[in-house]
């Protein structure tokens, strides 16, 4: 998987480039991992409902063809877009999503943070009162449950076309989190969104980006 750092990249041209590569790629074209930041933008997934966009203000709202509902992208967030041939990698979509989450969990662990999955709610979460506690969450937490005590630190939204993926994940490192208050993040009213900085981790976004890329390359390699 070839890793490319795009810098701060406008959202719509980046999505168009991902779509174009996916449309034209053949069985021998390489898998790519694009890493970037985006200028401030709200993005609505295919399941997006307008009532979850509460008060966008001057931040544009862009409809897109990834899965999921509304989220926010902005500076200080590491965005990763794997352009992966699932058939060649030997992965089903469910396994692919699990490995995206696993890459985030391993990246957080590199900074001593314990991330958690929540059943029915893709992404990665942390305990607000104990982000470094390694104990597992107790009992099931369905998507309809109250989000008391948890904060979302990474969001996922993917698209698969002819066995090939685009879109991906966003991990919050050190960003202005206030725009998340203008939406119901990922469609969940009352869900708190956090970054590494707000839970007490002073991490260089470039170092987090490199760690995330390393884990994604390892977990998405063919035959893993």
Q: What is the pLDDT of residue 139?
A: 56
Residue (of 90, 62, 73) closest to 6 by Cα position = 73
CB 53 within 8 A of CB 36: no
Q: Is residue 155 part of a domain?
A: yes
**224 inside domain:** no
pLDDT digits (tens, 9 = 90+) for 47-100: 878 888 899 999 999 999 998 889 999 999 999 999 999 999 999 999 999 999
pLDDT of 95 reads: 96
193 inside domain: yes
Residue 132 lies in a domain: yes
161 assigned to some structural domain: yes
Averaged over successive runs of 10 residues, the pLDDT of the chain (224 residues) comes to: 96 97 94 98 88 92 90 97 96 96 98 92 91 76 61 95 96 97 86 95 96 97 78
Predicted confidence at residue 223, as pLDDT, reads 72
Contact in structure between 116 and 135 (CB atoms under 8 Å):
no
Q: Is 79 inside any structural domain?
A: yes
Mutual angle of helices 205-219 and 93-110, in 10-degree steps: 140
- Domain annotation covers residue 164: yes
The closest alpha carbon to 217, from 33, 25, 22, 14, belongs to 33
Q: Give the domain extent around 126.
A: 2-219
pLDDT for res 141:
53
Note if 186 is an active site residue: yes
Domain for residue 135, yes or no? Answer: yes
Catalytic, out of 89, 104, 174, 186: 186
Residue 88, helix vs strand vs coil: helix
Q: 77-83 and 116-118 as β-strands: parallel, antiparallel, unpaired?
A: unpaired
CATH number of the domain that 45 lies in?
3.30.930.10
Q: What is the pTM of this model?
A: 0.94
Domain count, the chain: 1
């Amino acid at each position: 998987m070839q890793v490319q750092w795009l810098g701060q990249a406008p959202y719509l041209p980046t999505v168009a480039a991902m779509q174009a590569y996916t449309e034209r790629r053949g069985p021998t074209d390489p898998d790519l991992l694009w890493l970037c930041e985006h200028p401030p933008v709200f993005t609505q997934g295919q399941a997006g409902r307008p009532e979850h966009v509460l008060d966008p203000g001057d931040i544009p709202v862009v409809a897109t063809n990834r899965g999921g509902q509304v989220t926010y992208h902005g500076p200080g967030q590491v965005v990763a877009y794997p352009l992966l041939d699932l058939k060649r990698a030997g992965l089903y979509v469910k396994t692919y999503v699990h490995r995206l989450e696993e890459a985030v969990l391993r990246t957080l662990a590199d900074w001593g943070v314990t991330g958690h999955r929540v059943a029915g709610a893709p992404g990665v979460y942390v305990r607000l009162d104990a982000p470094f506690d390694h104990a597992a969450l107790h009992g099931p937490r369905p998507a309809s449950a109250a989000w008391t005590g948890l904060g979302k630190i990474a969001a996922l939204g993917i698209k698969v076309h002819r066995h090939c993926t685009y879109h991906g994940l966003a991990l919050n490192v050190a960003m202005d989190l206030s725009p998340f208050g203008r939406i119901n993040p990922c469609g969940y009213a009352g869900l708190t969104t956090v970054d590494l900085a707000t839970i007490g981790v002073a991490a260089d976004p470039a170092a987090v980006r490199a760690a995330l890329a390393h884990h994604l390359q390892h977990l998405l390699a063919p035959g893993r």
